[in-house]
Chain A
């Protein structure tokens, strides 16, 4: 088992969470990050769905990578991703209908999420299934992490709730003049929060700054 968690594999898993985060460093998957983060719950579900789909599609493509003809590899990758997306979408409809309604088309649109195709092309086509699995989970969680942070601020400041639980909407808070910030519920504010996260990360890690 030592080989399974070698230093290299740990790195494969952990860099997408911070130093090579798909959202804040590679700036991929921004569209869905803006669309589903007005509430915390759909953001978590979306993050987990993407994690599961990236992990499984990475494994599947990695297993068949040597048999895929190079010319039609994008089509093969899309078929695998589409199948997985459909499964996740149906599962959500069956077991978490409310959330799937909130996420609406964005579950189906995971298929066009740049993170997925990027990982398949850049990693799964050239690495073994176990590394690919770790890479998929790492990138999915890196994406989910940013979604959750953005959704946390947007739901707390925009609706005064967290996961639907009331945090700020009490009479005592309202009487001192506090009003929820409606702009937080609009996509522009998600972009600004993502920008702040990128700003923070770059200020902390000098390696990420362009010369």
Chain B
């Protein structure tokens, strides 16, 4: 650590005003503050000193995402080997999935951080750290067959239009990773939904084998096209462990739960948001089970609704995003509950979108400031009343 600090101090003058690498100032600054907590404090205004800053928060979220990512890699391999009918060892499957997912992670980071670096340099600001998390989230919420150039276009779109135009990290109204997914979903529906994209049909460096026209529907895909009210896929433990087709990181409830524990233990994510998303989903799922229309999606048991699709992933990693969610403590309950309820409503009532989590979270992102406003106003009028009655 000491040696690294000394090395950074030695090369630092090169990047300051007039130094020979001045053009890369923001890059250097980004890496330096990523490695070491900066020792400067703000000169004016309120300054709250905390051991944890936003770069540290982002690192914690990335750590929390790692179990789901690793499992996602294994599942990509597992699905491929199962569907093409090959025998494969655990290592083979994992390496296959690793090689399938790695290019997506690289593309997402290179495009997103590239734009962030350019903007930081241009506006003479520090590099904003928000993309550290978005960059790992994006590859985890797309199907394995999503082409890399589409991912690059969508990432660029979301970093520019969902984040930078609003003023960068901390100012965005919508979750950038979900905007990336929404862009892909509406722009290239054939590569983002249906039953041909969830299992890779290519061989990578001799691993696996190439099969044309490989199709495999997700659990929600099966339920949304079912003609009979009982034809939803039966609940199985694979839905909990995650050995089902789906977007790369979203399938395993167990891996996501590990991430959730890390987030809650470190206090990065709010338990109120997370819990109320699940409560919203359970209540709405149960209402549809009892009184819903006679379709497979409505009759799918509420506990199955929570396990399939992106419900858990969205609840743990997307809804709790501190920037785009409600910030008032009571608002978090309302915000989370409505996300869970809306996700199930969209799944059941909108035949066009088998998965409603993305749209539910984006919708509630818009309403988060309104919820906060109402909570704050309520608080003001309640205290006003109390002050008046005490006179």
Q: Which residues of A does B touch, CB under 8 Å?
A: 177, 179, 181-184, 186, 192
Contact = CB atoms under 8 A, between A and B. Distances in A.
A182 B161 contact: no
Interface centre among B150, B153, B161, B186 (most CB of A within 10 A): B186
5 contacts: A179-B150, A179-B191, A181-B153, A182-B188, A192-B161
A69 B224 CA distance: 63
Contacts of B161: 192
Nearest to A192: B161
Nearest to B150: A179
Contacts of A184: 187
Nearest to A178: B149
B147 A181 contact: no
In the A-B complex, list the 9 residue pairs whose CB atoms are closest, starting with the nearest. A183-B187, A181-B187, A183-B186, A182-B187, A177-B147, A179-B188, A182-B189, A182-B186, A192-B161
Given A183-B183, A192-B161, A177 B188 contact: no
Contacts of B150: 179
B82 interface: no
Nearest to B185: A183
A177 B186 CA distance: 17
Contacts of B191: 179
B126 to A, nearest CB: 23
B190 interface: yes
Contacts of A179: 150, 188, 190-191
Interface in B288-347: none
Contact of A177 (B149, B183, B187, B189): B149
Contacts of A186: 186
B178 to A, nearest CB: 15
Interface residues of B, number: 12
Interface string B181-209: 00100111111000000000000000000
A92 to B, nearest CB: 31
B107 to A, nearest CB: 14
A153 B189 CA distance: 20
Given A177-B149, A179-B191, 6 more contacts: A179-B150, A179-B188, A179-B190, A182-B188, A183-B187, A192-B161
Contacts of B189: 182
B259 to A, nearest CB: 30
Contacts of A182: 186-189
Contacts of B188: 179, 181-182
Contacts of B190: 179
Contacts of B183: 183
A186 B185 CA distance: 13
A120 to B, nearest CB: 35
Interface string B146-174: 01011001000000010000000000000
Nearest to A176: B149
A183 B187 CA distance: 4
Contacts of A181: 153, 187-188
A159 to B, nearest CB: 13
A192 B190 CA distance: 23
Interface string B115-151: 0000000000000000000000000000000010110
Contacts of B149: 177
A179 B153 CA distance: 12
Nearest to B184: A183
A26 B343 CA distance: 39
Contacts of A183: 183, 186-187
A183 B188 CA distance: 8
A28 to B, nearest CB: 22
A177 B161 CA distance: 25
B191 to A, nearest CB: 7
A192 B186 CA distance: 15
A65 to B, nearest CB: 43
A184 B157 CA distance: 13
A181 B161 CA distance: 17
A42 B161 CA distance: 28
A182 B183 CA distance: 9
Indicate the member of A177, A183, A184, A186 with the most B CB atoms within 10 Å: A183
Nearest to A199: B165
Contacts of B186: 182-183, 186
A179 B191 CA distance: 9
Interface in B50-82: none
Contacts of A192: 161
Contacts of B187: 181-184
A179 B187 CA distance: 9
Nearest to B182: A183
A187 to B, nearest CB: 11
A197 B189 CA distance: 27
Contacts of B147: 177
A124 B22 CA distance: 56
A177 B152 CA distance: 14
A207 B150 CA distance: 37
Most B CB within 10 A of own CB, among A177, A179, A186, A192:
A179
A192 B156 CA distance: 14
